[in-house]
Chains A and B, each alone.
Chain A
Amino acid sequence: EIVLTQSPATLSLSPGERATLSCRASQSVSSSLAWYQQKPGQAPRLLIYDASNRATGIPARFSGSGSGTDFTLTISSLEPQDFAVYYCQQRSNWPPITFGQGTRLEI
């Protein structure tokens, strides 16, 4: 099973600042990595798939990069609605599909 480790666990920033979230895989997942955003009381929403492709309707301030074992989700300039929990997820050679433990982005 591929284990995904996200860092930091909590990231405290202010609106307008740049956010950088990391996800490291226990073995290579090539580019088969996705990022999701989850707000309190809501279902997760797909932000990025295949490491760097924005899902439909996702603003350009969200970008993903990386391949192999190290990945980054960047939010270029934080909006108030971006404060949420972010999960990475791998789909390389599944099953199983696995998620990281999440990064909480807080004000």
Chain B
Amino acid sequence: EVQLVESGGGLVQPGGSLRLSCAASGFTFSSFWMSWVRQAPGKGLEWVASIKQDGSDKYYVDSLMGRFTISRDNAKDSLYLQMNSLRAEDTAVYYCARDPGQKTPTVNTLGCFDPWGQGTLVTVSS
């Protein structure tokens, strides 16, 4: 069974840092792009970042302004999100998700999310 389990969320003060982890199992982690998507309380979904299978390509939503870094460790089947200079507006449930698509010279089906983890709540407050 494909499973994604996030951890590392919690309460942090404005300006602080937090590192989220996502443990993957049930599939060959190193074969898939992976992403983070967040959801502020009572709000919609916002794509945060995506990373290529080998970590050589990374993409972020512009609004983060370089505060977050996505990374992965294929030896540990794990995805990470380092969050710095946290603000109140970063308060959200953070989901990791697998991208089932692929990118070849002729086909690009990247940019979907399936499945998702259960999420981890990050609260930024003093």
Contact = CB atoms under 8 A, between A and B. Distances in A.
Interface of A: 32, 34, 36, 38, 42-46, 49-50, 55, 87, 89, 91, 94-102
B115 A96 contact: no
B126 interface: no
Interface stretch (B8-16, B84-92, B104-112): B104-112
Contacts of B113: 34, 36, 44, 46, 89
Task: Bin the interface of chain B by size.
Answer: 20 to 34
Interface stretch (B23-31, B54-62, B73-81): B54-62
B114 A97 contact: no
A38 B42 CA distance: 12
Given A46-B112, A91-B110, A102 B44 contact: yes
B112 A95 contact: no
A49 B114 CA distance: 10
Interface of B: 35, 37, 44-47, 50, 59-62, 95, 101, 109-119
Contacts of A49: 112, 114
B116 A32 contact: no
B118 A34 contact: no
A106 B25 CA distance: 34
A45 to B, nearest CB: 7
Main DSSP-derived SS at the A contact region: loop
Contact of B112 (A38, A87, A91, A100): A91
B22 to A, nearest CB: 12
A46 B114 contact: yes
Contacts of A45: 114-116
Given A44-B45, A87-B44, A99-B46, A94 B59 contact: yes
Nearest to B119: A43
> Which of A44, A45, A89, A97: most chain B Cβ within 10 A?
A97
A97 B115 contact: no
Contacts of A102: 44-45
> Which of A55, A89, A95: most chain B Cβ within 10 A?
A95
A89 B44 CA distance: 11
Given A91-B111, A102-B44, 15 more contacts: A32-B111, A43-B116, A43-B118, A44-B45, A45-B115, A46-B113, A89-B45, A89-B112, A94-B111, A96-B47, A96-B59, A97-B111, A98-B47, A100-B44, A102-B45
